[in-house]
Amino acid sequence: QVQLVESGGGLVQAGGSLRLSCAASGRTFSSYAMGWFRQAPGKEREFVAAISRNSGSTNYADSVKGRFTISRDNAKNTVYLQMNSLKPEDTAVYYCAAWVGGTGVTGAQVNYWGQGTQVTVSS
């Protein structure tokens, strides 16, 4: 019902910025909260940020608060993650996600996943 395709990952120097995009398709896209998770090699997938279906609420992991901003453009069926002041520990594959519910979310709750996009931060 929902397909998610991420883009915008790449290699960036510490302190730099990247903007990730997640293009969504499907007739029930507006019914889902959206967000981003990330997974570094050898580590579990972890929550990064979430936004409600009407953009009325957002939630961020403590590790990215003040540096990352999630937004969505319903007219374009696209979710964004603006990442500023990047650190080497932000290096991971970033996955777009969609689920039914609020902005408090675990990976097990996610209904749809994107394919992932690599973000590498060098120091």
pLDDT at 27 over 70: no
Q: What is the mean pLDDT of residues 31-40?
A: 95
| Confidence bin at 33 (pLDDT 50/70/90) | very high
21 or 74, higher pLDDT: 21
Compute CA distances 64 → 22, 80, 112, whole Å: 19, 15, 23
Q: What is the mean pLDDT of residues 71-84?
A: 93
Give the per-residue pLDDT at 19.
Answer: 98
**pLDDT one-digit tens code per residue, 88-112:** 999 999 999 999 989 999 999 999 9
Q: Give one DSSP letter per residue of the chain, joined into a string.
A: --EEEEE--EEEETT--EEEEEEEESTTGGGSEEEEEEE-TTS--EEEEEE-TTS--EEE-TTTTTTEEEEEETTTTEEEEEE-S--GGG-EEEEEEEESS-S---GGG-SEE---EEEEEE-
